[in-house]
Structure 1
Amino acid sequence: MAAPAVLREVFNAHRAAWGDEDDGITFDDGPAPVGRLDVLVYRPTAGTPMTSFTTIGMAVEPMPVGPGPGGGRRAELQFARRGPLSREDERAVAGQLANLAVHPLVTGDAIDWGHMIGLNRDFPTLPGCAAVLVSGPLTMSGRDYIRTSDGAVRILNVVPITEAERSVGRTLPPIEFVQRLIAETDIFAPRDHPVPG
């Protein structure tokens, strides 16, 4: 069965922005309407020292309309981790992203920029980060949405955070919290990694 047009358009937009993916991991039999979810993997290059991930499948339908913002919108997730990862770690990160992508369907609550979500364990490759912040663009060149024939598909950047960071995040407006995180820590690496300067 052919992928819905919105997902083909998201895929083509990722290819136009980032080029061909280095790998892809498919998760089948997700909760309806997300029967299939793909996580594309882009490995580091000389110009980009990140392993980047993006989902394709979450946007098959708008998120449920639940309490708080984000309901009724289509979205896809992105995540970046400084440096190369083993294939095993890539699969673990992809699995966590797949779980987050179906979170709105499982809970009935939409997610949007500024939301924090607790996890049952540490985010793969980032010890001590047992929650995530959902953010808008993290760099000046970051995309905030992808235009499709079914409307905008919002890009939700996944930022793993520690419990201490989550506590601070509860006291600040989301934009201020993201700016503080970026200024004080390398959000793309384990917390013991020095802040790039």
Structure 2
Amino acid sequence: MDHGASSSSMATCKISMLWNWYTIDACFLSPSWQITSHGAFAATCIGVMLMVVLLEFLRRLGKEYDQHISRQFAARVGVIVNAGSSPSSASASAPAAARCSSSARDGGGEPTVVTFRASPLEQFIRAVIHAATFGLAYIIMLLAMYYNGYIIICILIGALLGKFLCDWMTCKVVIGQPGADAKGSAAAAGIDEPTVCCG
């Protein structure tokens, strides 16, 4: 009698591979993530939205960190040009650990190309940000594969909020730059590309 009462009181996870609107007894990712009340389901919806906002933040963080490294490289090039020294010697005296190589053609008026590589620490930070973004994107994808209408709507709302808050578009256009057309000026100014959904 006690066994029957305990088994009847145990809630069964509701999982469907078809579109559904389950709330109570819905399970996500593991049996421990089982919805037992409307408050728990509301907390789940809010948590899913925050996860998607965090995903957009990590994408923006990765882009901003890459731009930060690029600005450091550009500053080193400025030091090289102002010092009038060769790129290899200026790179050796730079405080950062990035490697630098150059190629130039003498007498032809060709521009000097300086190639920088990120230091091991910078590359490791880039890899950590990428791994966190990649993993979080797949967790969100697994949540969407439960085909719960409420969860999918929350994912879309989170994407909207994340894009609005974390990826505000800015554009710098150089006006009146001699010897450059509008397209070249825009490219030189570095117009931000929109964040794409890849995961």
Fold match by TM threshold 0.5: no
**Greater RCO (CA < 8 Å, at least 6 residues apart):** 2
Q: Name the structure with the higher helix share.
A: 2
Q: Name the structure with the higher strand share.
A: 1
Over alpha carbons, which structure has the higher Rg? Answer: 2
